[in-house]
Structure 1
Amino acid sequence: MSTDSMDGGEADTRPKIEVTEDAAEQAISLLEGEGLDASEAGLRLFVQQGGCAGLSYGMRFDDAPDEDDTIYEHHDLRVFVDPASLKYIEGSVLDYESGLQAEGFHVDNPNVVSECGCGESFRT
């Protein structure tokens, strides 16, 4: 298990997954609403096969990270990413958007070469 934090220390050259403050606040609120402890549990961000472009994002809360997960900590939110998903989403930013049309989490992924028309799936 490897960890990454915004709390300083030695420079880490690995591509990171960033989380905006808005996304972290929303996720922590939902996590605590599920009765989970934010100091142990976290948001799992993963990539799965599916959608018209081939890949789609998935998110869920987990009680704890898996042994081979990379753990990112931003604004007191722990984000767990498995090794298979990391190669597709490294360098991404997780944000929370709210507006008239839609509200929810959005992944800004620099590795995407095309997305489907509805924005639910992508190809790298």
Structure 2
Amino acid sequence: MSTAGTADTATEIDVSALAAEQALDLLEGEGMDTDVAGLRLFVQQGGCAGLSYGMRFDGEPEEDDQIYEHHDLRIFVDPASMNYIGGSVLDFEGGLQGAGFHVENPNVVSECGCGESFRT
């Protein structure tokens, strides 16, 4: 649910229960207050397809962030990144290639072979 600005459900960022659980464990492990701190999801230039995802923990949101909360995890997204990742789902996957967070983005028209970068 968005708590800052107005976002319709088509552009909302969703989070799977497993991704939220993993991120909250990491946040708590860093000693961060999960009532205020959150996971920043952003897009940056780079990768073989042109854009790549970035994630980091932030102690609090920036003034112009969209803030989403799912399964007690707060997600912060800046307006520029929102243009590329609106409607995405953050998930956590494990497997032979290693465990990690994965963004399921409906805006992607192509991805690189390793899945680390994309184009909209």
Q: Name the TM-score, length of structure 1 as normaliser.
A: 0.90
CA RMSD for the aligned pairs?
A: 1.5
Alpha-carbon distance between aligned partners in 1 of 2:75 and 2:29, rounded to the nearest angstrom: 17
Match in the other structure for 1:53? 49
- Say which of 85, 89, 93 aligns to 2:89: 93
Three-state SS of the structure 1 residue aligned to 2:2 is strand
Percent identical pairs in the alignment equals 75
Which 4+ stretches in 1 moved above 6 angstroms?
none
- Give the counterpart letter for 2:104 in structure 1: D
Unaligned segments of structure 2, at least 5 residues: none
- Give the counterpart letter for 1:36 in structure 2: M
Count of aligned pairs between the two proteins: 117
- Give the counterpart letter for 2:95 in structure 1: G
Match in the other structure for 1:8? none
Q: Name the TM-score, length of structure 2 as normaliser.
A: 0.93
Match in the other structure for 2:112? 116
Pair 1:94–1:72, CA change in 2 (3 A): same
